[in-house]
């Protein structure tokens, strides 16, 4: 089960995320759980797998907003890196960056299912 403390130990800036939601822990945790199941992860995976950089940018940018607003810092940093590389049209190992992002997400899912 995800708690504020387990998220904090995982590197999430819970204080900042809670502040955005007027310190409503129940609502914050519900949104974090929804974010972990966000369809954007699948869209990003599909786009990276198809080497569709336009779709990958759109999916990464949308996830960046979700993850940033909840201060899910480890994932936010990785998706921000992807977003900026895609925005600039840089060649990069997007599959590797995606794996790192999904590993971070999967760790929080493991904590949730604990």
pLDDT range class, residue 105, cuts 50, 70, 90: very high
State the pLDDT at residue 114: 86
Cβ atoms of 45 and 97 within 8 Å: the answer is no
Q: What is the CATH number of the domain that holds 22?
A: 1.20.120
Q: Find all residues with CB under 8 Å of 85, minimum gap 6, and list them.
A: 92, 94, 97
Count CB atoms within 10 A of the CB of residue 71. Answer: 20
pLDDT tens digits along 73-82 = 999 999 999 9
Mean pLDDT throughout 43-70?
98
| Dist CA 111 CA 113 (whole Å) | 5
Domain range spanning residue 97?
4-113
State the pLDDT at residue 84: 98
pLDDT range class, residue 43, cuts 50, 70, 90: very high
Number of domains in the chain: 1
State the pLDDT at residue 39: 98
Q: What does DSSP assign to residue 95? A: H
């Amino acid at each position: 089960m995800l708690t504020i403390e387990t998220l904090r130990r995982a590197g999430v800036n819970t204080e900042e995320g809670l502040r955005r939601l007027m310190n409503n822990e129940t609502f914050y945790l519900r949104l974090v759980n929804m974010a972990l199941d966000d369809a954007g992860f699948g869209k990003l995976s599909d786009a990276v797998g198809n080497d569709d950089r336009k779709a990958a940018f759109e999916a990464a940018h949308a996830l960046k907003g979700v993850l940033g607003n909840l201060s899910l810092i480890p994932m936010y940093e990785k998706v921000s890196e992807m977003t900026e590389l895609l925005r600039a049209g840089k060649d990069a190992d997007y599959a590797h960056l995606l794996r790192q992002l999904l590993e971070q997400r999967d760790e929080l899912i493991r904590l949730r299912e604990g």
